Each structure stands twice: as C-alpha cells, then as structure tokens.
Amino acid sequence: MKKLVLCVIDAMAPAMLERAVAAGEAPVLGALIERGLYVPDCVAAFPSVTPVCAASIVTGEWQDRHGIPGMSWYHRAEERYVEYGSSFRASQKVGLGRQLTDTVYNMNGAHLSKDTETVFEALDDTGVRTAGTTYLMYRGRYRHEPQRDTTLTRIASRLLRHPVMGPKELFYADIFASRQTGCRSNLGMPGVRDRHSGCVGAYMVEHDLFDFLLLSLPDNDWHSHRSGPDGQVRSIALADTQLKRVMDAGGGVDRFLEEHAMIVMADHSQAQVADSVALVDALAELDVLPPGARAGSSRAERSRIAVCPSQRAAMVYVIDDDRLERTRSHVVRKALGVEGVELAMWLERDAHGVPVEAAVARPGHGELRFCPGDDYEDGKGRAWSVDGTASVLDANFDDGRLTTPSHPAALERVWSALNCGNSGDVLLSAAPGWEFADLGGQAHVGGGSHGSLRGEDSLGALILCGVELPRERNGWRIRDVAPLVLEHFQAGPS
C-alpha cells in the first residue's frame, strides 16, 4: 500500500491556484492536477475559519460533532472568552498565557470532542505510522514532552510545560519534536512555518518515518491576509517549493508518486476586505461582556451578551439566561441594522430545549426557516423542510432540489453550526467586502479574510492523486477527506 501525504495549504483559493499553475509558478501542484482529480469547489465548514475547518478535516465531521465553533467563542461552563489567536491585540485582551494555553493545549485536549476520533487516533490504533507538522489539530495516541533544547524553547517551556498526545511523529512549532531533525520554525513565526514543514517533511521522507503524514503549509493564509487574495500566486508558489522539497527527498515527483498517494487541499478560501464592523461597539447597549472580565465579578454580572468575532463571521452569546429569548431578539434586530452584516442565524427550540428549526434573516429580504424534513433535497441528498423567502440565501428550488450557489451547502452548514453546543445563540455572516473587527479591534482591511457563509470564503481547492475515490460523488466537503484517508489504510472508526 502506498504511503499517504495530506497537505493542507491554508486558504488556497482555486482561482489563484489555477493562475499560479498557468503561469508556471507551481509546477508540482500542476503535475498533481494533471495526474489526479482536481476539485475547484470543495466546501468548507461555517464559520469558514481555520480552527473549525481543521477540526472537520481531521475528524470528518462538522462542529455539531467535533465541538470547535469558531476562532473566538464564549465558554459557557467556564464563563470566559476563548481566543485562538485572531491577532496579537486580541490575545492581549483575553491574556497571552490564556490564549497560548487554549490554542496549544485546550483546543485538542479539552475543546475538541472526546467522542469524535481524529485520523491520527484511528490510524494509531491500527499500527499505521502517523506524523504531522505544525497544525492546529494534532490529537493522537502518543505522548510528547515539550522541548527545551534551545533558548527559545526554554523560554516557551515556562508557559508550555505540559506534554500532549499526538501522532507518533509530531513536530509543532519547535515546542514539540519527536526527534531532532535540524529544522527550526522560530516557534511557529509566520513566514517561516512553510519552510519548517518542508524541512521536516523532507527529513521524514528521507528516513522513511511515516505511512501517513499531515503536511501543513499555513503561510499562504498569512500572505493573503496581508496582500489580499490576488497576492496568493506568489505565496502558492512558495508552498509549491516546499512540496518539491519533500518530493525531491523521495527522488523527485515521478519516483515519489510511485510510493506515495497525495491529497492537497485548502481548508477554506479568502475574500477581499474593504471595511470592518466594530460589532462590540454596535451591540454595546446590550451590555457586552469585556474580554478578560473575571467570572463572578460585578462587570460580568451586569453583562447580558458575549460578542465573539471570527473574521467574516461572528457569534453572539446570551449570558442572561432569564431573558434569553428577549435578548436574542434584540441582538438579531440590532445586528441586522448594522452595515456590513448580511445574515443573522439562530435556532428555535421547543419547550424541552429540542431544536425545531433554524432561522436565517437578511436585511431587505425577510426570513428563511428550515429543518431536516422531506420537502427538498440538497446536493448531498439530504432532505429539508423549508419555508420563507428564498432570496435570503439566493436559493433555487427546482423539481424537488434545493441549491444555494452563492452560499454553498448553506442549510447543511448552518444547521451544523447552530447545533454545536459551543456555538453562540446568534450567528452572523458578513456582507461582501466586510469583516468583523476582532476582540482587539483589528481587521484585515485592504487585505483578505474569510469566515462567512459565502462562496468566496468557503470554496477551496482539492487535489486527489493516488487515492481510491468513492463511487458516488455529489459534491465535495472538507469533511470528506478523513474518510478517504481511513479507507486508504482500511482503518474505519473504532
């Protein structure tokens, strides 16, 4: 059986990949497209942000099963904000130590559902040699101690001093390294991460240390945030260089593909940002919980809502349980009047708290309500009961089929997001050109961003080369990749 490399190029937009290949800037990716199956419209999770999408990629589930709801969210049980690193200022607001602990440890160890297996765990259980470079999701069956072999890692170990469970071979931003490779990432600094992954990947190939490798190339997202999606041609070329480095360690593209299958994918895409929404300010009259407020403090006791921006998506949590319905209605009404908000979504429940239907509202269009039913089938063959105004989601109804081209797989993704136990009571999606400023007031105006339900954020590139494809394919989702990996090694969920 061939070894398998799953390469995630963060935010790789299909149009930019195609432009890079056509210009000769990405010859390795071009060769994989030529020899395999190229999918230009693989649908991301919603919100289409990296933590949610990474969890879907490694578990094969949406967040109603894996539990990671956004880039920033409110932990109801602990009465505090969780922030995975939207910006340095956002991290300062919640506390740098808290942000690092949540991102490095709690995301995998506590926030990712224990009931949902990762591909690493499933493959580890069958004896497949697993490996991974720096990626937000790494949970596996092997224990790894933090490194203290350089000045930087010794400084980092003052905060990050606990072991983690990961794949057999784990290389995470110099903090965890299952063996000495000579590769350094300056603790995962942007602009250096791809080179670190390429260096580690080449070492792993050269020394035959894996059967399955998750090769993360995240710098494309960082470049695109700064320069906008049109700047991706250059950063995709840089990612291609690291893929070549890995393949050269196995004898070049032809020889490498004789022994390895390849899946190369984006976790989401990016859209251009021209303006930002200061959502915390817009909802201030509803008594927003400030980041860093201590649970039980007088300020926390006075707060009615928690506001959690996730780039081009946002979540609002009602933390005043006695006035949940009333406060939620106020949030929806207020949010729909804010320039830059395209959609507001919430879940209606019965008297026992059981979800009855999801509601989506759009300024100037009205509401669309839906739930699993038998009126219309979507692209995956799932049936829904739908009532309301089709233009809310630019939906088309034709001969029992429902499509939402501008908001891909909208019903499936919204339903999963709203039914995640860690999601907010109201979810928001930004209009084209807009982004929600994060908890530190930062936004990517003039650059690119992602997170919304719209296709420009949510449709990423996928290349499959050397893996057996399912007989029936009704559109691709990022969560379809984990089953492909497990089937390649014939390792189903335990």
Beta-bridge partners for 402: 397
User: Residue 22 — very low, low, confident or very high, per pLDDT cuts 50/70/90?
Assistant: very high
Query: Residue 411, Cβ neighbours under 10 Å: how many?
Result: 23
pLDDT at position 295: 76
Taking 80 as the threshold, does the pLDDT of residue 157 lie above it? no
Flag whether 379 is in a domain. Answer: yes
Q: Indicate the DSSP class of residue 20.
A: H
Distance between CA atoms of residues 325 and 315, nearest Å: 16
Verify that 392 and 354 share a domain, yes or no: yes
pLDDT at position 302: 82
Contact by Cβ (8 Å): 71, 84: yes
Distance between CA atoms of residues 138 and 124, nearest Å: 12
Give the 3-state secondary structure of residue 432: coil
Distance between CA atoms of residues 59 and 214, nearest Å: 13
Q: β-pairing, 3-9 with 260-265?
A: parallel
Contact by Cβ (8 Å): 109, 160: no
Verify that 22 and 141 share a domain, yes or no: yes
Flag whether 245 is in a domain. Answer: yes
Verify that 54 and 159 share a domain, yes or no: yes
What average pLDDT does range 433-442 have in this prediction? 97
User: Residue 399 — very low, low, confident or very high, per pLDDT cuts 50/70/90?
Assistant: confident
User: Residue 155 — very low, low, confident or very high, per pLDDT cuts 50/70/90?
Assistant: low
CA distances to 199, 204, 226 from 5, rounded to whole Å, are 15, 11, 28
> What is the separation of C-alpha 430 from the centre of its chain, rounded to a whole number of angstroms?
17
Beta-bridge partners for 369: 359, 387
Verify that 146 and 35 share a domain, yes or no: yes
CA dihedral 149, 171, 166, 113 (to 10 degrees): 120
Q: β-pairing, 260-265 with 164-166?
A: unpaired
pLDDT at position 492: 55
CATH number at residue 242: 3.40.720.10
Verify that 378 and 285 share a domain, yes or no: yes
Verify that 211 and 173 share a domain, yes or no: yes
Verify that 282 and 228 share a domain, yes or no: no
pLDDT tens digits along 443-482 = 999 999 999 999 999 999 999 999 998 877 778 999 999 9
Verify that 434 and 467 share a domain, yes or no: no
Alpha helices in 275-378 (DSSP H): 279-282, 298-302, 324-336
Distance between CA atoms of residues 355 and 421, nearest Å: 12
Residue type, 418: L
Verify that 430 and 366 share a domain, yes or no: yes
Q: What angle do CA 465, 471, 477 make, to 5 degrees?
A: 65
Give the 3-state secondary structure of residue 136: coil
Torsions phi, psi for 269 (to 5 deg): -120, -160
Q: What angle do CA 30, 138, 451 make, to 5 degrees?
A: 65
Taking 90 as the threshold, does the pLDDT of residue 322 lie above it? no
User: Residue 494 — very low, low, confident or very high, per pLDDT cuts 50/70/90?
Assistant: very low
Alpha helices in 315-426 (DSSP H): 324-336, 410-418
Task: Locate the DSSP E strands across 56-115.
Answer: 72-75, 80-83
Flag whether 102 is in a domain. Answer: no
What average pLDDT does range 372-397 have in this prediction? 92
pLDDT tens digits along 278-294 = 999 999 999 999 998 87
Flag whether 90 is in a domain. Answer: no
CA distances to 118, 309, 425 from 130, rounded to whole Å, are 12, 34, 38
Flag whether 85 is in a domain. Answer: no
Q: What is the pTM of this model?
A: 0.95
Flag whether 449 is in a domain. Answer: no
> Residue 313: in which H helix or E strand, if any?
strand 313-318
Percent of residues, the chain, with pLDDT higher than 70: 97
Verify that 142 and 223 share a domain, yes or no: yes
Distance between CA atoms of residues 166 and 112, nearest Å: 13
pLDDT tens digits along 94-105 = 999 999 999 999
Range of the structural domain that residue 408 is part of: 275-443
User: Residue 152 — very low, low, confident or very high, per pLDDT cuts 50/70/90?
Assistant: low
pLDDT tens digits along 104-130 = 999 999 999 999 999 999 999 999 999
User: Residue 374 — very low, low, confident or very high, per pLDDT cuts 50/70/90?
Assistant: confident
Flag whether 77 is in a domain. Answer: no
Taking 70 as the threshold, does the pLDDT of residue 493 lie above it? no
Alpha helices in 267-397 (DSSP H): 279-282, 298-302, 324-336
User: Residue 428 — very low, low, confident or very high, per pLDDT cuts 50/70/90?
Assistant: very high
Contact by Cβ (8 Å): 96, 109: no
Torsions phi, psi for 452 (to 5 deg): -75, 175
Q: Name the token pair of 95.
A: 């506390």
pLDDT tens digits along 37-49 = 999 999 999 999 9
Distance between CA atoms of residues 342 and 364, nearest Å: 10
Distance between CA atoms of residues 284 and 132, nearest Å: 43
User: Residue 351 — very low, low, confident or very high, per pLDDT cuts 50/70/90?
Assistant: confident
Contact by Cβ (8 Å): 26, 443: no
Q: What angle do CA 488, 489, 494 make, to 5 degrees?
A: 115
Torsions phi, psi for 179 (to 5 deg): -160, 165
Residue type, 358: A
Verify that 191 and 241 share a domain, yes or no: yes
| Total domains present in the chain | 2
Verify that 221 and 338 share a domain, yes or no: no
Flag whether 64 is in a domain. Answer: yes
Torsions phi, psi for 355 (to 5 deg): -60, 130
Q: What angle do CA 392, 395, 399 make, to 5 degrees?
A: 145
- 429: nearest Cα among 312, 336, 279: 312
What does 135-162 look like in DSSP terms, one character per residue? -S----SEEEPPP-SSHHHHHHTTT--S
Give the 3-state secondary structure of residue 174: coil
